[in-house]
Amino acid sequence: SICRSPSPEPIYSSDGKRLNTREFRTRKRLEEQRHQLVMRMQCMNPEFKPPADYKPPVIRVSDKVLIPQEEHPDINFVGLLIGPRGNTLKAMEKETGAKIIIRGKGSVKEGKVGRKDGQPLPGEDEPLHAFITAGNPECVKKAVDKIKEVIRQGIEVPEGHNDLRRMQLRELAQLNGTLRETDCPRCTNCGSTEHKSWLCPDKPNVTNNIVCSSCGGAGHIAKDCRSKRPGQGGPPTADSQTKIDEEYMSLMAELGEGPPPSKQIDPLVQAHLNRGYTLFDQRPAAPRAITAPPPVQPAPPAAQVPPPMPPPPWSGNNQMPMPPVLPPLPNGQPPPPGGLPVGPSGP
């Protein structure tokens, strides 16, 4: 009997499908044999062309560069490598031709989910490092040298003198729209950006120190300022007032509030405008004469109050006599019609 080697442990994908099936392993073995034969034929005959359906296997070369974040916790190595919005890392990948991934402890922000299925990221339990992959060892070596140079500058060069950090801050300000071309303010005496105003070696320039209170410019006073303040343009002319009235009447005509204005102006209106009044102003009225106060009117007579009505008979204010109350008879007989009291023995 033929003994078969034991099957390896199954490997499943994220959706539950098995990856290392027997068919997959057999196909992979045959493709490796085919690739070795094609390479052998190319060595024997340089003019040999492989079949059209032949695809050489992709060989990936990888390497790791540890980032000493624990030894230097005050230095942001991840920020130096990634740069503003990832531009520094993208430039390094484009220059070297390698794929660079920052992974390990501290590479993912707290509270950020790594994968949707909840599985841990590759290399998550490892120390912080940069993982470089490329198709040839030369690209990997070039990327490793770039990363080590950035780490060396972050450790040895102070942050204020680090050219890479300064360039990243400038690029970030440019992306945010807060970039100022001149970091140092100009000297108010000579206009130079190389020194401060109190360190200027030139003689004091009185003209540049004069500030106009009207426009805020330097070199002239408010009396000689050419830009007028609001409300200092002079009195309005008759033509401008007429134009404003015409525009107003045209607007009211468009809204349906009145007829459109005619081209000919009434002479009274023209004389009114020549005096400096507009349609929105009121002509001053003549002063009124001082008159005597109006005569005092007599008070109207008081209304006569009608006499009070007599009280009703059931009220307690009348003087009508009440009938006498007779005591009941002992034998229960009704009282005599005369209303006189009757004794127990009779009359």
Tell me which H or E stretch contains 95.
helix 87-96
In the chain, helix, strand, coil percent, each to 5?
35, 5, 60
Q: What confidence tier does 58 reach under pLDDT thresholds 50, 70, 90?
A: confident
Find the range with the poorest average confidence among 176-185, 226-235, 236-245. Answer: 226-235
Average pLDDT over residues 202-226: 76
pLDDT-based confidence at 221, cuts 50/70/90? Answer: confident
Phi, psi of 211 (to 5 degrees): -115, 130
On the 0-12 / 13-18 / 19+ scale of CB atoms within 10 A, 216 is: exposed
Render pLDDT for 247-277 as a digit per residue (tens, 0 to 9).
888 888 888 776 555 555 566 656 655 555 5
Is the torsion defined by CA of 109, 112, 118, 122 positive or negative? negative
The radius of gyration of the chain from alpha carbons, rounded to an integer in Å, stands at 56
- Does an H or E element contain 81, and which? helix 77-82
Q: Give the mean pLDDT of 194-213.
A: 75
Q: Using CA of residue 202, residue 205, residue 209, residue 211, what is the dihedral sign?
A: negative
Nearest to 156 by CA among 68, 44, 29, 28: 68
Using 50, 70 and 90 to split pLDDT, how confident is the model at 245? Answer: confident
Task: Give yes or no for a contact between 165 and 80, defined as CB atoms under 8 angstroms apart.
Answer: yes
Cβ-contact 153, 166 below 8 angstroms: no
Q: Over the stretch 298-328, which tens digit does the pLDDT of each residue have? A: 665 555 556 667 666 665 555 555 555 556 5
Q: Which of 94-98, 162-166, 289-293 has the lowest average pLDDT?
A: 289-293
- Tell me: pLDDT of 345 over 60: no
Whether residue 346 is predicted with pLDDT greater than 50 in this model: the reply is no
Q: Note the pLDDT tens digit of each residue in 64-91.
A: 999 998 888 888 888 899 998 889 999 9
Task: Look up residue 291 and give its amino acid.
Answer: T
346 vs 67 pLDDT, higher one: 67
pLDDT value of position 347: 42
Residue 149 predicted with pLDDT over 90: yes
Give residue for tokens 């695809």. 55
Q: Which among 148, 128, 136 has a CA at the least distance from the CA of 98?
A: 136
- 45/47 Cα distance (integer angstroms): 5
Average pLDDT over residues 149-155: 91
